[in-house]
A and B are shown apart, each in its own frame.
Chain A
Amino acid sequence: MGIRFVLMVNKQGQTRLAQYYEYLTLEERRALEGEIVRKCLARTEQQCSFVEHRNYKIVYRRYASLFFLVGVDNDENELAILEFIHLLVETMDRHFGNVCELDIMFHLEKAHFMLEEMVMNGCIVETSKSNILAPIQLMDKAS
């Protein structure tokens, strides 16, 4: 399946975006987020961005005050996931212009649209920024 979930969490550990590609109940999600956030936020800049958790890996990256955490299967390529995270940030940056935590908070649905364009059922299906943004621009026009 590749990617299992994508989380965006701020420095205080509050979830800003959560997208799961496997079915988990709300309680399971909350528990999972708590565990992961505790594990990852305690790490420093000098430490590597990969954490083993339960039976999968978490690849994370910090941009300003926001942590991007991606849970992947064990045989997934960590560096490729880091590149994916960077692509996601760049895409949001292009759309919002110097994206910050507030942009994601107030335009959650757009962030989800982008993610949905990029990842389908845990597989990365789109890596071109203009392709990712095209439907969102259409929607902006329509509404």
Chain B
Amino acid sequence: MAGTSIMDSLFQRTLEDLIKGLRLQLVGESAFVSKALEEIRREIKSTDPHTKSTALQKLTYLNSLHGVDMSWAAFHAVEVTSSARFHHKKIGYLAGLAVVPLRHRRNPPHHQPAPQGPHRRQRVRAIATILKIFSKYPDAVRVCFKRLVENLESSDLQTASAAVGVFCELTAKDPKSYLPLAPEFYRILVDSRNNWVLIKVLKIFAKLAPLEPRLAKRIVEPICEHMRRTGAKSLIFECIWTIVTSLSEYESAMKLAAANIREFLVDDDPNLKYLGLQALLVVAPKHLWVVLENKEVVIKSLSDVDYNIKLEALRLVMAMVSEDNVAEICRVLVNYALKSDPEFCNEILGSILSTCCSNVYEIISDFDWYVSLLGEISRIPHCQKGEEIESQLIDIGMRVKDGRPELIRVGRDLLIDPALLGNPFLHRILSAAAWVSGEYVKFSKNPFELVEALLQPRTSLLPPSIRAVYIQSVLKVLTFCVHSYLLPIEAVASSSSCSVDLEPGVTDSVSGTECPESTDSPTCEALADSEQGEGFNPRALNQSIEDLSTENGADTIVTHGQISSSYSFKKDCFTPGSIASLFDLIETSLGPLSGSHEVEIQERVRNVLGLIGLIQGEIRGCLVPKEGNIEKKELKASEVITMMHDAFSEDLGPVPLSAQEKVPIPDGIVLKENLSDLEEVCGDIQFPTSSLFSLGRPHSGERDGVAPFKSQNKEESEPSTESTSLLAEHRKRHGLYYLPSEKKDIISNDYPPANDHKLQDNVNDDAEDLVKLTEQSFLTKKKPNQARPRPVVVKLDEGDEVPIAAKRPESRDDLISGAVRDVLLGNEVMPSSSRSNPSDKSSSKRRGKEKINIDQPSELKEDLANVVKSELGNPNSRRSKHRTRGKERKHRSPGKNGEEREENGQDKQKSSHRHARVTWNHHLGKAAENLNYKAPCNILFWTLRVASVGRAFNALELAYIYNISRKMKQIDESSYLQAWVCISRTSNAF
């Protein structure tokens, strides 16, 4: 054994060797570390103090930089600290605190820095730890708060500084309690010339000033004075911050702050620029003029190299947005977005979207513009804001009637572009566009074009849920077209008077859908041709559509063989030929999908095909226009179509969150309070796992279709409100929100990425020009004559936003503030007024070593005290006692089940935890006591040091602690210190 020890010390690697070795290891560092660790484990057991300490030193190094666990070496650390040589002791201490160094005791007093006296350093450190004590042990406030306040007035700078730091933290949590100390803080604010202290005091005042207007008045001038006087940017910034957050109503101060902010903004240092922008952001809500004064800088910062600065600038730009300049600002921002990197691009788009829609589109007056902006944003290559744009498009559709024509136009442009279908980020937007164009098809200039767009082959790239929306929209458009064809003059009321039994027709249609192939496009017109061409070369169609639209201008309507250039021609486009080709197009494109595995698609396709099957015979039959409109009206088909059309043309509106509450409970309804007997009835029923099939959904289409007809047969003369509502409900269920959309894999895209050409739009690169561009718009002038009044936006009086009730959890802060208030207001008589469980005994007990400070139920107290006592006698007895107690219990209840045993175990755990807490509180109590009773400074310091570690001990640690504290009584001060180091260390290690 001795031999190995000698070998170890001879060939032991020193710390320096270890570091050098580590530096050589470019790869496989962890292997090297574990090898070194192996060595250390061996060396540290050596009896030679040198070997041991070196090993410990290496271990400490590895622990602090390579995250090696060293809790297992706690005992060795204690051993090394007991070495006679200072060098070893030092290593031991260092390890003991895991690289938290210490002030060792062996310094002769004359080595202490002379001017401040020997106690100064310790006092400073004691103050710095007091915060942790307060948070762990609010009662400590009563003991030492006064002394802490005294330190505020200390002539020693460091002491005062530390005290101010503590108060800064305390004030941040609960400013109100510290108002009585304002005179002390004010004195420091006026007298101190130490920037660090001033910064902390300013932080305190920033919290106090809003609470007390008179105080705010007093401090404005000194703060301004500091701002004028000092050259230190940190202090200037703190002054600015205090003024903009707490003293913004003082005009002169604000002006001075604004001037300083400006200096920060124009500085070359990006740090100052960033902070300046942050300050501006705080100013913006109350004093927008400061922001407007600096708008050039802000806009230029949008193109800064630093992402953080860009982000701040963006926030500021959004803060400047008002009803008058929203269009211009958005134009600028979209231009920036086009040339930004994807991340910032989306940041810009996100903030545009959220700003514009805030408070139900408060700042938008021109919805045509906004809707087209949404369309434009969708086409920005990096745009990933599909969800937001989707919801806004639909929301605007529902809320703003006047916006619908433009919505349809934007939707059409999006739908018709086959390239967009390849971009999964756009799918949500396309889904909204499809819904909009189905819902508001009556505003469309060319519905046939919409159907083509909705059925183009590349829709196969869409996820099923969105495709289902497309198909549903086809149904709506189809209904609209046929309705317009059959009943060119709106004659809803007269048509509903016809009484035809339609049930057989419906069943016909259902059977008809089962063989959709039979109706294979008989009249292959230009439509089908183009359809096929599209299939072979999708680019061609894209090309042709674009060509045509560019040739004819945006407003002209392009159909195959029919070009009508104005709204008045619209009626004429519903010719027999066009309707027939519409049927053909739908049947050819949707036919194959009627066997789709996706139920949503399959069902909707069958709905559409069923409708066609129902009506096309008659319509095709009268395609030869030998008879007039009057006979068209009498067809069964007109009846069906009118019904469908009525259902679809009912407006959907926004629904407030509280809508359901407002539905009155019908008279005579008896709701069962207890639904437990439902369990008995349905207990053995297995619900289908797929939610799609539950509640008989798949056939509801037909059922809902049938029911209204029946009802109408009964009440012949009345326009069927019930049927429309049922259909409307059906439609809603089939509507956009039915399925959660899921992203599918991207199918290979043979198109150019969506609208790359947009990039080539001459984006203005020069910030100068952009500033000019927006120059006028940022001025808060009113537009002289608004072209037209703002359209009505449906706004619900309540429930548009979810109220969030933020409940502050009760915390220890409250306890601290309670105690502080007690101390400051002078009622120290009742030490524990803030506690529910009075621990008034604690103050009297605190002196006795075995006594405990606890806030535990009293029956526990006794038990714990016993345990603690017994431990003091014999450190090992605690564990054994536990074990026996556990055994006893087991013996007592041998027949009981496992539950009991489990409880037993939990109990044990809990109680050991309680021990930890109890002793912890005990030590904290000691610490606080030491502060008060002028204990030797070093003891004080170390006690606090321990407290600052701030963790409860575990059982093993407790054993150490009691072992050590027992020794403490007999040993000298330095050993006492060592012991505390050890305690501190163990409490940190686990």
Binding site for B on A (CB under 8 A): 1-2, 15-19, 23, 26-27, 29-30, 43-44, 46-52, 75, 77-80, 82-83, 105-106, 108-109, 112-113, 116, 120-121, 123-127, 131, 134-135, 138-139, 142-143
Contacts and interface: CB of A to CB of B under 8 A. Distances in A.
A108 B233 CA distance: 32
Nearest to B271: A48
Nearest to A79: B234
Contacts of A77: 199, 203, 234, 237-238, 241
Given A48-B271, A48-B273, A29 B67 contact: yes
A79 B67 contact: no
B90 interface: yes
B94 interface: yes
26 contacts: A23-B951, A30-B67, A46-B270, A46-B306, A48-B271, A48-B273, A49-B271, A50-B308, A75-B203, A78-B271, A79-B237, A79-B271, A79-B275, A80-B196, A80-B199, A80-B234, A82-B271, A112-B100, A116-B101, A120-B124, A121-B131, A124-B161, A125-B128, A131-B113, A138-B107, A142-B106
Contacts of B104: 139
B119 to A, nearest CB: 14
Nearest to B277: A48
Given A77-B238, A112-B100, A116-B101, A105 B128 contact: no
Contact of B308 (A16, A47, A109, A120): A47
A121 B948 contact: yes
B102 to A, nearest CB: 8
Q: How large is the interface on B (under 10, 10 to 19, 20 to 34, 35 or more residues)?
A: 35 or more
Contacts of B234: 77, 79-80, 82-83
Contacts of A106: 16, 19
B162 A113 contact: no
Contacts of B132: 121
A48 B274 contact: yes
Contact of A142 (B86, B158, B232, B271): B86
A23 B87 CA distance: 29
Contacts of A44: 305
A101 B565 CA distance: 77
A51 B308 CA distance: 8
B807 interface: no
B271 A125 contact: no
A116 B945 CA distance: 12
A27 B107 CA distance: 37
B208 to A, nearest CB: 14
Given A16-B65, A46-B305, A47-B307, 7 more contacts: A26-B69, A78-B237, A109-B101, A120-B162, A121-B128, A126-B158, A143-B90
B306 A127 contact: no
Contacts of B306: 43, 46-48
Q: Which one of A29, A75, A79 has the greatest number of beta carbons of chain B within 10 Å? A: A79
Contact of B233 (A47, A79, A125, A143): A79
A19 B166 CA distance: 20
B953 to A, nearest CB: 13
A50 B309 CA distance: 10
Interface string B237-276: 1100100000000000000000000000000001101110
B270 A48 contact: yes
Contacts of B16: 106
Nearest to B161: A125
Top 9 nearest A-B pairs by Cβ distance?
Answer: A79-B234, A120-B128, A47-B306, A48-B270, A48-B274, A80-B234, A123-B165, A113-B101, A26-B67
Given A18-B65, A125-B161, A135 B124 contact: no
B129 interface: yes
A108 to B, nearest CB: 6
